[in-house]
Amino acid sequence: MNDKVAALLNEQINKEFYSAYLYLDMAIYYDKLDLDGYSNYYMIQAQEERDHALLFMKYLQNNGLDVSLDAIAKPDKSFESVLDPLLIAAEHERYVTELINNIYHEAHQAKDYRTMKFLDWFVDEQMEEEDNADSMINRYKLFGQDPKGLYLLDQEYAARVYTAPSLTL
Ligand code: FEO
C-alpha cells in the first residue's frame, strides 16, 4: 500500500477515538443536566465511533500493515447550553467527512481501489452522520425550547439502541 494512504488510515484510528471521546464528553454534559435521553444518544454515538476506529485498525491489519496507536487528545469543547453539543457534533461530523474524503482522494491518486472500496462504507456513513446531526439541531430548534417538547425529545433519544456497524472485516 502507498505509504501516505497507510499513514492516513492509521491516523484515522486516532481521529475516530477522539470522536468517541468528544461524544462521551457530550454524554457527560447531558447527564449532568438530567437529560438522560440525549446522554444515551451520545453514549451510543461514542460506541459507534469506537467501532469506526476498530474498522480502520482491522483494515490495516488485514492488509499486513503495522498499526500504531497515538495519544487521544482531551476533548476541549465547552458547552453552555443544550444546543451547543448539537452544533459542535454537526461541525465535527463535517470535519470527519473532510478527513474521509481526503483519504479517498489519496487512495484514488495511488490507484488503491481496494482502499476506495473500503472507504465507500464511510462515505455513506458520513452522509447519515451529518443528516442525523443536522436533524437533532432542527428538532431542538422546533420543539426543544418548550419544556414539554424537550421532555419528549429526550424520551425519544432515550429509546436509541446500539447496533453494530453493517461493515464487517
Ligand atoms: Fe466516525 Fe461520526 O464518524
The answer to whether the pTM exceeds 0.75 is yes
pLDDT on residue 163? 95
Which sequence spans correspond to the domains of the chain? 3-67+78-158
Cβ of 92 closer than 6 Å to ligand 1, yes or no, is: no
pLDDT on residue 129? 97
Consecutive sets of 10 residues in the chain, 169 residues long: mean pLDDT of each? Answer: 97 98 98 98 98 98 98 95 98 98 98 98 98 98 97 98 95
Nearest of 18, 3, 16, 26 to residue 88 by alpha carbon:
26
C-alpha cell of 156?
425519544
pLDDT on residue 60? 98
User: How far, in Å, CA of 131 to CA of 51, rounded?
Assistant: 19
pLDDT on residue 166? 96
Q: Which CATH architecture has domain 3-67+78-158?
A: Up-down Bundle (1.20)
Cβ of 154 closer than 6 Å to ligand 1, yes or no, is: no
Cβ of 16 closer than 6 Å to ligand 1, yes or no, is: yes
Atom of ligand 1 nearest to the CA of 48: 1
Cβ of 129 closer than 6 Å to ligand 1, yes or no, is: yes
Cβ of 19 closer than 6 Å to ligand 1, yes or no, is: yes
pLDDT on residue 160? 97
Q: C-alpha distances in angstroms, 128 versus 31, 92, 93?
A: 25, 13, 10
pLDDT on residue 118? 98
User: How far, in Å, CA of 108 to CA of 114, rounded?
Assistant: 10
